[in-house]
Structure 1
Amino acid sequence: MNKERVISIDVFRGLTIFIMILGNLSPDSQYTYPTLLHSGWTGVNIIDFAFPGFIFIMGVSTFFAHSLKYTDWLGKVIKRTIILFVLGLLVNHLPLLFTAFFSPDYTFAQAGNDFITYFRPFGVLQRIALVYLVGTIIFQGISRPWSLFILSLLLMGISSLGYHLYNPAEPFSEVNNISLYIDQHLQGASHNYMQAQYDPDGLYGTINATATMLLGCFAGVMLKTRQGFTLTTNNNTKKLFSMGIVLLLAAWGWSQWEIISKPLWTAPYVLSMVGLGMILLSLLEGLSHSVFFRFILHPLTALGRNPIFAYLLSEWGLALLFAIPHNGEPLYLWLYHTYFFTSASPFTSTFAYTLLWDLTFVILAEVMNWKNIVIKI
């Protein structure tokens, strides 16, 4: 395999992190453009592509991971899994310490009590960790592309079967489905996201999230011969683009009897997001040798080389700014209301504020790239 970085993968990864951060930083959901909010129980918005897109490209990059060629690859994978899982726990619970440190009305004792009472074991990084562990082990044992594809379909079929067996009448009911049942009985509602009845990053959805990564591995294998890539001459990019169209059609067909749901990470959701991912990756790969392309999208390339680090900074930075009080409200909201929000154009001002914060992480990524700093997580 070529030891060069695959630019299209970095750009794709950077784009997913950029969208993910953009969706997390909104100061007021009431005045956020709907497409930048997570969809409800069914359907998808732009923001809903970020997480499955990241897992998809994690699968693609798994094929190009040089560390997997060595005999001690499993130890490296387990180590990275543990690191990602622990960092996910810190994302969930460091805000308690920030609040205790800056708020006179919230003590460290209360923070400790809330940590025990509302401890949340799952989250974005925890799901990434589990999918990375299982998906990489499967990929090391099954590297043939169509075997990966068939296994992905099998996982989606198993997940769908679980919903139908648990509640044949309404398999994807918001109040009674197998994913919700597992969330309530494995960790309990008080340990779910926002203490809801289900956790959007719970354990059952990890089945289809793993299928998402394996389809990414499938895409990576399809792109394994990388000589002279151009959009017009390389057959692999054309095949990947065509496969993306096929998966979108399959998603539409599957959605005729099962819902497209991001909270449940259903099979039609996987197929639609992976289909879009394959189309986007094929286009990025086809343009990746254009000097103009590299210049325009270089910020995303830089962000894609330190994606987890940028995500962590955005999460902890947001938590810190929310924990610091100023004039009776969190500093993050005070800055928003004082310098950005206007009642004449509330949606535009909210978007501008969110975008500005997102761009600060892009700039930081550019500086790190200029200094050749890559924090491997």
Structure 2
Amino acid sequence: MRDRILSVDIFRGMTIVLMILVNTPGTWSSVYAPFLHAPWHGYTPTDLVFPFFLFIVGTSIAFAYKNKAINAGTYKKIVVRSLKLIGLGLFLGAFTIYFPFVKDFSDIRFPGVLQRIGVVFFFAAVLFINFNWKTLIGISAFLLISYWLLMGYVPVNGMESTFERAPNNLANYLDVQVFGTHNYKDDYDPEGLLSTIPAIVSSLLGVFTGLILMSKQPKKATILMGIGGSMLIAGHLWDLFFPINKALWTSSFVLVTAGWANLALALIYYLTDVRGVRFGSIFRYAGANAIILYFLSSFIGKILGQIKVSDGTSMHGWFFKTIYIHDFLSMQMSSLLYALTVVTFYCLLAYLLYKKGIFIKV
């Protein structure tokens, strides 16, 4: 069991390291294409990162609650953890370094990454402890198909629905109606309300993988590879009717990203558990404190972006300009080197926390 959890920890750590990497370039105006999200339909390696984390949240749920007694205390812990995650996300969205240290209410973004993790964790955990795996497969299929039908066939303001970024996109429309000015953009939010429904399935698909890893099935890596490949094929076929789209978290996007997640985790499992190869310790350290590392990277990054130096440039911009910009480097490379430096810092912090036995659970 410990080895299996180790491979999950390595995967989680890799994911959180990638999240920090793609979120902290030296400048957003100069970033290599693989480190950017797809403009709308389609996906890049960066678009895999967040669904990978929700997937591994589901896998961790399977490990945590498989043989646990289910009582009022269990539900309380699930609720408390969900509220902590949502609270941390709202704090990040509201905080400013200037007195009174809170943005104007109209400028606070309500949805966010940690908020979505909290909501998805709550529903995935509650569903897992109440239903068997066969029922969960049915629930997952129902949610994905229902989301497709809602997005594709429900008229919006008397107009035919669309999957494009437009007023008659149902997900965009609901986000604007519910959150108003509290969205990421004026017309949509990548962690919006309706798109959270298929995001729950991203976590449930991780639950199934966790159950496979804990089972007595032989050749687990082969099974995961087969499942991953099948999801990739199904997702790309569904893309013909419901485009792969991270901002909308489409059903095809759920299947494709879960497919890649299964393939990646199968490889790690094969190397660590089947072949006995020991690698990726730094990712295991990061995985042990994943949420707090993500929170700190976002919080500190926000502070560095708000503190101004003498010429009006942010401290972040000053560091980047002074240390990383050189005539012999392209701006994209300078921007990437800055991000790698940030990642190195948080990997070292993860190492220190792990060695001192400090595990901050949210």
TM-score range, shorter chain: over 0.9
Counterpart position of 2:74: 73
CA RMSD of superposed structures (Å): 1.9
SS of 1:325's equivalent?
coil
The letter of the residue matching 2:202 is T
Counterpart position of 2:179: 187
- Indicate which of 134, 140, 143 corresponds to 2:123: 134
- 4+ residue segments displaced more than 3 Å: 2-5, 167-170, 289-293
Alignment of 1:345-356 (within 5 A): 345-356=330-341
- Indicate which of 162, 165, 169 corresponds to 1:177: 169
**Alpha-carbon separation, structure 2, partners of 1:347 and 1:271:** 31
1:374 shift after superposition: 0.5
Alignment of 1:214-363 (within 5 A): 214-225=204-215, 234-289=218-273, 293-294=277-278, 296-328=279-311, 329-344=313-328, 345-363=330-348
The letter of the residue matching 2:179 is Q
The letter of the residue matching 1:38 is H
The letter of the residue matching 1:299 is I
SS of 1:30's equivalent?
coil
The letter of the residue matching 2:260 is L
SS of 2:214's equivalent?
coil
Q: Deviations over 1:125-150 (max 9, x none)?
A: 11111111111111111132x43223
8 Å CA contact 2:176–2:186 kept in 1: the answer is no
**Alpha-carbon separation, structure 2, partners of 1:150 and 1:67:** 19
Instruction: Name the count of aligned residue pairs.
Output: 354
1:118 shift after superposition: 1.8
**Alpha-carbon separation, structure 2, partners of 1:131 and 1:211:** 9
**Alpha-carbon separation, structure 1, partners of 2:132 and 2:173:** 34
Q: Deviations over 1:298-337 (max 9, x none)?
A: 0000000000000011001101111221132001110100
1:90 shift after superposition: 0.8
1:169 shift after superposition: 4.3
Counterpart position of 2:83: 82
SS of 1:44's equivalent?
coil
The letter of the residue matching 2:150 is G
The letter of the residue matching 2:30 is Y
1:43 shift after superposition: 1.1
* TM-score, L = length of structure 2: 0.93
**Alpha-carbon separation, structure 2, partners of 1:158 and 1:291:** 42
Alignment of 1:52 with 2:51, yes or no, is: yes
1:269 shift after superposition: 0.6
Q: Deviations over 1:16-68 (max 9, x none)?
A: 11111111111312211111011111111111111100000110111110597
SS of 1:69's equivalent?
coil
**Alpha-carbon separation, structure 1, partners of 2:4 and 2:308:** 43
**Alpha-carbon separation, structure 2, partners of 1:68 and 1:91:** 35
Counterpart position of 1:376: 361
1:5 shift after superposition: 6.6
